[in-house]
């Protein structure tokens, strides 16, 4: 059988960067093919070449046995290739049917009007044929992310796509939505469609794909059968060396309470309560994790704790001191380190060099002040220590933050924050957009602090992460803690339900009886 897609020696060179280096890729018709690799491995570039967004420097694209060259996405669409980007290409204020038919609207009255009934019917038919449940009349802004994604899939199907490319489709979904997406994959392949999806998550690739191709540094380092491979094998292919997937945690021996949050209520800019009456404590020598789908109040909660947002009500204590009304500086002085969620927004100043960035947050600290002026010599030494200890690449204190990759920026921020000798570390998405190697490294550092008796408050939307290194795990939904669970005992399904605001039936009744 002719493969649906066959890429032959694709090389894509950007000024100064070799993004794809002689990549071969064969995708069989009616299969799910995962493209696995770390950030910057060239996965998205390769798919953008296939989709006509980039022209390859050299190499051939063969679609269904015919060699093609794509100058623009429309050429790829005409050849039956559709791509769903990480950021959805939907108009929020339009309905599902309007979005699906955008650009190819069915017309009536000699083209003078859109045939709305036809458009709706087309979408209903498409939904039925592929077993997708979407209401064509709902506006995109009213839909959950999972359904928006399904709308994107409908959009490509409406244009007669045979090969569907999805860029990190699960990054924004809850575990249940991921399950649904994977069953959609099955429905589509049953109908003869071919799916290529980009991911850096091993588990997903193994679960959903028939075949997995691993990219590293722009090269294809191996295509394996998803049934036959192991997580360890894939991780090694991705990173190029053996990786410890299970984090070793030392015994759990928590000490005194370091952070105590009592009945905290926080409002957002619109004055709506986004955190309601939340109470919890973090003790020395433990990692307290907060899991939840993004946007359920985690960021406002963290902003209130770190002093970036004034809470409406409630008390926050650090050690034995109340810090509810303290500002950032006082909190830093009290030993609170913060790894912010958005490193560009709050972690580093992109135009500053590393020495200047290394000073951020410590500009008042006596160690860095000499006669009322900043002691740059001392700051430089400090920065060099961070760079060395945290293996920041390139190891150049005069490089500006923008010259570093995301993973290295993050390592630098983690290094700077942990160097404050804190009693509490508030880490939000500490490994977001960071590759496996650096993730492993950051986790190890956090666990070292835990072993040294520091309290760690960890917020992450990655389930693996919060389950892997937390000792206790609070699940947030719509501004409240649905439950606090033991991350080792809870299953992924239970956690998924909690994140969707539902108490697993049995546990609720057990709690209520007590």
Partner 1 sequence: MRELPSLGRKTLGGVVVLALVGGVLSGFVDKNALSSTLRLSVPIAFAALGGIFAEKSGVINIGLEGHLIISAFVGIYATNLTGNVWIGFAAGVLASTLFAVVFAIVCLEFRADQIIAGLAVWLVALGLAPFLSTVIYESVNAGSAGFDPITIPGLSEIPVLGALFDAKPPVYLMLLAVVGSWYVLNYTAFGRWVHASGENPQALDTAGVSVKRVRYASVLLSGVLAGIGGASLSLSLGEFSGNGQTMVDGRGFIAIVVYLLGNYNPIGTFLSTTLFAGLQTAQIQLQSGYLPSSLVQTIPYITVIIVLAGVGRTRTPDAAGDHYESGEE
Q: What does the binding site for partner 1 look like in residue numbers (CB under 8 A)?
A: 53, 72-74, 77, 83, 85, 87, 89-94, 98-99, 102-105, 107, 111-114, 155, 159
The nearest distance, CB 167 to partner 1, in angstroms, is 12
The nearest distance, CB 171 to partner 1, in angstroms, is 17
The nearest distance, CB 9 to partner 1, in angstroms, is 23
Runs of H (alpha helix) within 278-375: 298-306, 328-333, 354-359
The nearest distance, CB 103 to partner 1, in angstroms, is 3
Q: What CA–CA distance (Å, rounded) separates 94 from 158?
A: 17
Residue 458 neighbours by CB distance under 10 Å = 24
Q: Which residue has the tokens 């009290």?
A: 334
Q: Quick one: which of 8, 28, 53 has its CA closest to 193?
A: 28
Of 92 and 448, nearer to partner 1 (C-beta) is 92
Phi, psi (rounded to 5 degrees) for 66: -110, 135
Instruction: Give the 3-state secondary structure of 256-276.
Output: CEEEEEEEEEEECCCCCEEEE
Of 70 and 390, nearer to partner 1 (C-beta) is 70
The nearest distance, CB 479 to partner 1, in angstroms, is 26
Which residues, other chains included, contact 440 with Cβ-Cβ below 8 Å and sequence gap of 6+?
A: 243, 244, 247
Of 57 and 223, nearer to partner 1 (C-beta) is 57
Q: Which residue has the tokens 């630098």?
A: 412
Of 122 and 471, nearer to partner 1 (C-beta) is 122
Phi, psi (rounded to 5 degrees) for 266: -130, 140
Runs of H (alpha helix) within 286-373: 298-306, 328-333, 354-359
The nearest distance, CB 480 to partner 1, in angstroms, is 30
DSSP 3-state of 226: coil
Residue 223 neighbours by CB distance under 10 Å = 16
The nearest distance, CB 435 to partner 1, in angstroms, is 20
Of 103 and 395, nearer to partner 1 (C-beta) is 103
Of 85 and 231, nearer to partner 1 (C-beta) is 85
Of 9 and 160, nearer to partner 1 (C-beta) is 160
């Amino acid at each position: 059988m002719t493969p649906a897609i066959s890429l032959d020696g694709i090389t894509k060179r950007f000024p100064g960067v070799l993004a794809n280096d002689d990549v071969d890729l064969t995708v069989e018709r009616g299969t799910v093919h995962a493209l696995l690799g770390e950030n910057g491995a060239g996965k998205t570039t390769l798919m953008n070449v296939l989709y006509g967004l980039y022209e390859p420097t050299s190499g051939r694209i063969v679609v269904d046995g015919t060699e093609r060259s794509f100058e623009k996405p429309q050429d790829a669409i005409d050849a039956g290739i559709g791509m769903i980007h990480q950021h959805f290409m939907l108009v929020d204020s339009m309905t599902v049917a309007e979005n699906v038919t955008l650009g190819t609207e069915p017309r009536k009255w000699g083209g003078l009007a859109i045939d709305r009934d036809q458009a709706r019917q087309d979408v209903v038919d498409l939904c039925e044929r592929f077993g997708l449940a979407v209401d064509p009349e709902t506006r995109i802004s009213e839909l959950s992310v999972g359904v928006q994604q399904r709308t994107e899939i409908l959009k490509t199907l409406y244009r007669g796509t045979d090969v569907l490319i999805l860029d990190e489709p699960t990054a924004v979904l809850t575990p249940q939505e991921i399950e649904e997406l994977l069953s959609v994959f099955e429905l589509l392949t049953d109908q003869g469609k071919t799916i290529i999806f980009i991911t850096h998550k091993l588990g997903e690739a193994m679960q959903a794909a028939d075949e997995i191709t691993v990219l590293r540094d722009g090269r294809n380092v191996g295509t394996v059968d998803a049934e036959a491979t192991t997580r360890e094998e894939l991780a090694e292919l991705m990173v190029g060396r053996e990786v410890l997937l299970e984090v070793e945690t030392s015994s759990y021996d928590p000490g005194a309470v370091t952070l105590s949050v009592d009945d905290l209520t926080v409002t957002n800019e619109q004055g709506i309560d986004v955190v309601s009456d939340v109470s919890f404590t973090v003790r020395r020598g433990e990692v307290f994790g907060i899991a939840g789908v993004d946007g359920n109040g985690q960021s406002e909660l963290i902003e209130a704790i770190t002093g970036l947002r004034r809470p409406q009500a409630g008390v926050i204590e650090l050690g034995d001191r109340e810090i509810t009304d303290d500002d950032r500086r006082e909190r830093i002085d009290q030993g609170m380190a913060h790894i912010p969620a958005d490193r560009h927004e709050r972690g580093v100043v992109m135009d500053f060099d590393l020495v200047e960035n290394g000073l951020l947050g410590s500009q008042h600290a006596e160690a860095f002040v000499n006669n009322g002026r900043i002691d740059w010599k001392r700051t430089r030494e400090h920065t060099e220590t961070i760079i060395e200890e945290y293996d920041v690449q390139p190891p150049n204190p005069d490089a500006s933050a923008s010259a570093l990759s995301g993973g290295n920026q993050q390592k630098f921020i983690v290094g700077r924050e942990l160097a404050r000798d804190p009693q509490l570390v508030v880490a939000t998405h500490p490994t977001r957009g960071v590759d496996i190697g650096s993730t492993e490294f950051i986790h190890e550092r956090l666990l070292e602090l835990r072993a040294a008796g520091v309290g760690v408050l960890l917020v992450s939307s990655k389930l693996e992460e919060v389950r892997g290194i937390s000792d206790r795990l609070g699940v947030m939904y719509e501004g409240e803690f649905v439950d606090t669970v033991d991350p080792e005992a809870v299953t992924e399904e239970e956690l998924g339900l909690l994140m969707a605001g539902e108490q697993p039936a049995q546990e609720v009744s057990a709690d209520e009886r007590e």
